[in-house]
Every structure is written in structure tokens, then in C-alpha cells.
Structure 1
Amino acid sequence: MTKYLPLLCLSLWMFHGCDKECDVEITAYQFAYPQPLPSFTLESAFGQSTVSQKDFANRYVVLDFFFTSCPSICPKMSMNMQRIQQELKGTDGFSLVSISIDERRDNVQRLREYAALYEADTSTWSFLRGSREEVFSLADALKIGVSESDLPTSGGFDHSGTFLVVTPGQKVTYYVTGDGTEDHEVDDLICFLKQALTDY
């Protein structure tokens, strides 16, 4: 899958003072001009039938786009989302949000099966779906690369592995640098979230 860096100006943000489990100087990329989380209403695989961006207010959110039959980066991305969930277990004030880009195949039952595969705690990890137009428009607004693909190895789609971080004020502020499959970048993200949630 193609790596796609958001087309916003950005600066390098340095962070110190994480807990002893990640007591290192880490880096995360920060948008020079943080943008509001766009409005959306999507179908949820768990709990209430639909959710909107308002349901994630006053929380830190890690958000990605995926599809359940993805043959390449999605399994690794979801494993890293699972790792974030495990590292932050018992911590209040955060949500994980995975949005399917495959309207045709990823129905609610398919998303539930996928969530079970990754032992998702669905009280904090949401799996959402919507029409192609809704999801692709949201991805575009977030500067996330998503497209259909005819390549046999693509599974029908080409998309970015970016993890976005949304602040409690619903500003899209940080992102894991282009690919949620890189373990060291996810380590940095976990460290950031632990400290941010401690301070929040």
C-alpha cells in the first residue's frame, strides 16, 4: 500500500519526560495548523447504531482507515492498535477508531468478527462503516490517501497507514509518520498518549 504523508505544513515536535517504560526522547509529527475533526455520522458495529464526531469529544482519539480483507498493511496496523489498547488498559480518556473503506464487503457482522480477531475492547475501540462517498470524503478531509485499486495484490484498495491523533478539543494535531506499521513509531505514540492522559 502507498505511504501518504498529509499535505499540510508540519513541524517536528520533541517530547520529554515519559514514564520509565519509555524514558527516552521521542518524536511525533505535529501539524503546523491543527485542523478541526470533520463532522461525520457513520454506522457502528457495536453499541449505538450510529456515531458522530461528537461522541469522541473530550477524549484523545487514535484514528485509522482500514478494510478487513486487506492483504498487506491492515493486519499490522490493527495489531498496533491492539497494542495501544493493551498499553492503555484501565486508562480513561481515550478512544481508538477504525473506519472501514470497503462498504461492499465490510458489513456490521464482518466488522464484529474482525474486532474479535484482534480482541478489541469495544468500550474504547470503535469499528465504523459508511457509504463509499461518506468514508472517502472524510478521508480526503483528513488528508488521508484512499483510493480503489485494480492491482491483484491490493485487495481492491490503496490507502495510507497513517494513525491520526485527535485531541480532547477535537483538533487533529499529531500523526504517526505516515505508517502505522512501524513498531518504533507506535512505541513513541504510546509514550505520548500515556503522558498526555496523565496530564489531562
Structure 2
Amino acid sequence: MNAPQFYKINSILSVILFLAFAGLLGSCTNTQKTKNSLPIFGERMAIKKVQNGKIIVDTIFHRIPDFGFINQDSQQVTERTFARKIYVSDFFFTSCPTICPKMRTQLQRVYQQFKNNNQVLLLSHTLDPERDSVAVLRDYAQSMGVSSKKWHFVTDAKDSIYAIASKYMVAATENSKKGGLIHSGALVLIDTNRHVRGIYDGTKPEQVDYLLADIQTLLAEKNLSHTFN
């Protein structure tokens, strides 16, 4: 899987965001994995604890924090909505003329492949909450013919959205020009423990091929865990 590529809305800031994000992945990504598993992305912390009279070292991995947003049906969406689910997260805005239409096309592939699998959901956050109201998001979702039970388009206070974007390791910022936004085309794969398990270029079909395959890997991992538990 190749590292996600970033697209230029403002050339200087886009380069800065790309370099910062590439450095984050290079320094913080878990690359230790077995043949049939996916890495866990993000920072980790080793902690010591006593178990059965022995000191053992445990690893705490990066985890998507609790959140609360409003979706296209005016329903609250929280981390509990995705409990025990695998989901794909992205950041967009409905008036985006550049990479968002490409991301939308590729996300529809994900939706179509897993629309009958209740273990897989999609979560799209608007980066332009001032214009992307609940009504706008509802019209946008309806134009795609997707179910709000499967694919949540969410909005909230701008600060909250940009804060959670960083937890998904997605580059997003406002342009100095009025109404300008800079963001990556990343699609982020989250497992049932809220760990980031993959980051993909959502504008490239071959990258989304990897995403589709990796979702199947997580489904197998989830079902295997359920079998042993």
C-alpha cells in the first residue's frame, strides 16, 4: 500500500501538509505485522504493569477518541454508533471542485461492495460546516442514493471537525482566501477497537482496491476474534 498523496489547492500549504504528514507516518506508524494482519497506525506508548507477580510491558496504541456529530438525518452520531463496527472515514465538502468528486466515486465502490454487510459503515465529515448544513448533506446523500444507516455524512462546529481530523491523521486546514480549504484525499480504515489500520489515496482506484481487500482482512480478523471469545 502506497502512502496517500495530497492534492494542490494552494501549492505552498499543500507541500507543507504533505511533508508533515509523511513525517508522521514515517516516525509513528506500526510496521510490525504478520502475513495476514494489517499494521496499526499512529503513536504508541509502552507501559509496565504487574501481572501474576511479574512485570510485563503492554503497548497502548493510538485510538480515535470519543466524538459526537449530527448526520444528514439530524441524528446524533457518536463513537457508539460504530461500536464493534469496521468503518471508513474521510473529510470533504460538498462544493469541493477538485478531489472530492473522485473520492465520492471511489467511496461509492466501498458502499456498493459492503452495502449488505452491517459490520461495515462509512463516515464522511464536512470541512465546511458553515455551508454544509444538515439539509445540504441530506440532499448530497440523496443524490448518491445511499442509506443513512450505512453512510453517515456529518457536521458540527468547525473546531471539533478539524480536531478530529488530526486524530485520523488527515491533513486539513483553511486557506487564507475566504472560503478556501485545503485537505488530503485520504480514506482511513478504522477497526472495531478504533485503531487506524490503513490510509489510502481516495482518488486512485488502485488504492481503493487495497482498501476493499483490507476491509475483508479486518472482517476475517473480527470474526476470528469473535470465534475465540
Closer/same/farther in 2, CA of residues 128 and 31 from structure 1, 3 Å limit: same
Q: Is the 8 A contact 2:84 2:193 kept in 1?
A: yes
Shift of residue 150 of structure 1? Answer: 4.0
Aligned pair 1:117/2:127, yes or no? Answer: no
Q: After superposing the two structures, state which structure 1 stretch, 56-65 or 5-14, moved more.
A: 5-14
Q: State the partner residue of 1:190.
A: 212
Which amino acid in 1 is paired with 2:190?
V
Aligned pair 1:87/2:113, yes or no? Answer: yes
Q: Which runs of 5+ in 1 are unaligned?
A: 17-26
Q: Distance in 2 between matches of 1:86 and 1:92?
A: 12
SS at match of 1:31: coil
SS at match of 2:173: strand
Which amino acid in 2 is paired with 1:85?
Y
Matches within 5 A, 1:101-112: 101-112=127-138
Q: State the partner residue of 1:57.
A: 83
The alignment of Structure 1 onto Structure 2 pairs a total of residues equal to 185
Q: State the partner residue of 1:31.
A: 41
SS at match of 1:164: strand
Which amino acid in 1 is paired with 2:205?
D
Aligned pair 1:171/2:195, yes or no? Answer: yes
Q: State the partner residue of 2:184.
A: 160
Q: State the partner residue of 1:40.
A: 67
Which structure is richer in relative contact order (CA contacts within 8 A, separation 6 or more)?
1
Shift of residue 136 of structure 1? Answer: 0.9
Q: Is the 8 A contact 2:41 2:195 kept in 1?
A: no
Aligned pair 1:98/2:124, yes or no? Answer: yes
Task: Give TM-score, length-normalised by structure 2.
Answer: 0.72
Aligned pair 1:128/2:150, yes or no? Answer: no
Q: Which has the larger radius of gyration?
A: 2
Shift of residue 60 of structure 1? Answer: 0.3
Alignment root-mean-square deviation, CA: 2.5
Which amino acid in 2 is paired with 1:129?
T
Closer/same/farther in 2, CA of residues 15 and 102 from structure 1, 3 Å limit: farther
Q: Distance in 1 between matches of 2:98 and 2:142?
A: 19
Choose between structure 1 and 2: higher helix proportion: 2
Fraction of identical pairs, as percent: 29
